[in-house]
Chains A and B, each alone.
Chain A
Amino acid sequence: DGGITQSPKYLFRKEGQNVTLSCEQNLNHDAMYWYRQDPGQGLRLIYYSQIVNDFQKGDIAEGYSVSREKKESFPLTVTSAQKNPTAFYLCASSIAGQLANQPQHFGDGTRLSIL
C-alpha cells in the first residue's frame, strides 16, 4: 500500500538535545511538508520541499531544520534552539508543489514531549 510513514509515534526529548523525526513516502510525490499542531489548534507550517535538494521555511521554522536528499524522505530535526517543542508533528506530501493546489496526504504523526 502507498502512504506516508512517520516514526517514531512517540518521542521524548531531554533539555538541550536535538531529535530527528522521520518521514518516508512511497507515493512518488514531489512535495513534502512538516506541520506542527498544538492542542486544540490548527496546523502551522514549519518547512516544505517542492523538489529534491530544495526546501523553504514555513511560518515557524525557527529551531527546526530539514533535509531532502531523497524524494522519499524528508526528516525534521528539532534542535535545542526550539524552546517549546512539545507538540504533535505531522508530515504530509502532495503530487506537486503547493502552487499546484494538490491534496495533501498526511502521516499518522509523531508526538514529541520534553522530559
Chain B
Amino acid sequence: GQQVMQIPQYQHVQEGEDFTTYCNSSTTLSNIQWYKQRPGGHPVFLIQLVKSGEVKKQKRLTFQFGEAKKNSSLHLTATQTTDVGTYFCLHSSNTGKLIFGQGTTLQVKP
C-alpha cells in the first residue's frame, strides 16, 4: 500500500543552524501538505504543494515538491528556539486516503 516515510525522526540543532525534514513516498503523490505542532499543542497548517517541482517560501521556510511528485522537503533557515516542535507532512492518495508522515521533532539549543 501507499506509504510516506518522513526523516529524520528527531533533529537537534544549535540556534541559528538550518533544519530540513523530508517526506518520501513509494508512489506518486497528488499533493502534499505540511503542518507544525508545538509541544502540547495541535497541528497547524503551513502550506500545500501541488505541482511537480514546486517551490514555495514563507519567511525562513522553503518547501519543495519533487519533479516526480514522490518526495517533498521543508527547509528552515537560522532556527530559533520558537521553532521547536514536530513537523508533519500529509498527503491524500488518489483514492482519498489521508496519510500523515511520522513527523520530525525539532529541538533547538540556545
Q: Which residues of A contact B (CB under 8 A)?
A: 33, 35, 40-45, 48, 58, 90, 92, 97-99, 101, 103-109
What are 10 sample pairs from A and B whose C-beta atoms fall under 8 A apart?
A35-B100, A42-B6, A42-B103, A43-B88, A90-B43, A101-B48, A101-B92, A106-B42, A106-B44, A109-B42
**Contact of A98 with B88 in the complex, beta carbons under 8 Å:** no
Specify which chain A residues have a CB less than 8 angstroms from the CB of B44 in the assembled complex. Answer: 106
- What is the CA–CA distance of A48 and B98 in the complex, to the nearest angstrom? 10
Interface string of B88-110 (1 = CB under 8 A from A): 10101000111011110100000
**Contact of A99 with B92 in the complex, beta carbons under 8 Å:** yes
**Contact of A98 with B42 in the complex, beta carbons under 8 Å:** no
- For residues 48 through 101 of chain B, which have their beta carbon under 8 Å from a beta carbon of chain A? 48, 50, 88, 90, 92, 96-98, 100-101
**Contact of A97 with B96 in the complex, beta carbons under 8 Å:** yes
**Contact of B31 with A90 in the complex, beta carbons under 8 Å:** no
The one of B35, B48, B96, B101 that contacts A98, using a Cβ cutoff of 8 Å: B96
**Contact of A42 with B96 in the complex, beta carbons under 8 Å:** no
Q: Which residues of B contact A (CB under 8 A)?
A: 6, 30-31, 33, 35, 41-45, 48, 50, 88, 90, 92, 96-98, 100-103, 105
The one of B30, B31, B98 that contacts A45, using a Cβ cutoff of 8 Å: B98
- What is the CA–CA distance of A101 and B65 in the complex, to the nearest angstrom? 15
Identify which of B41, B98, B101, B105 gathers the most chain A CB atoms within 10 Å of its CB.
B98
Shortest Cβ distance from B32 into chain A, in angstroms?
Answer: 9
Specify which chain B residues have a CB less than 8 angstroms from the CB of A40 in the assembled complex. Answer: 105
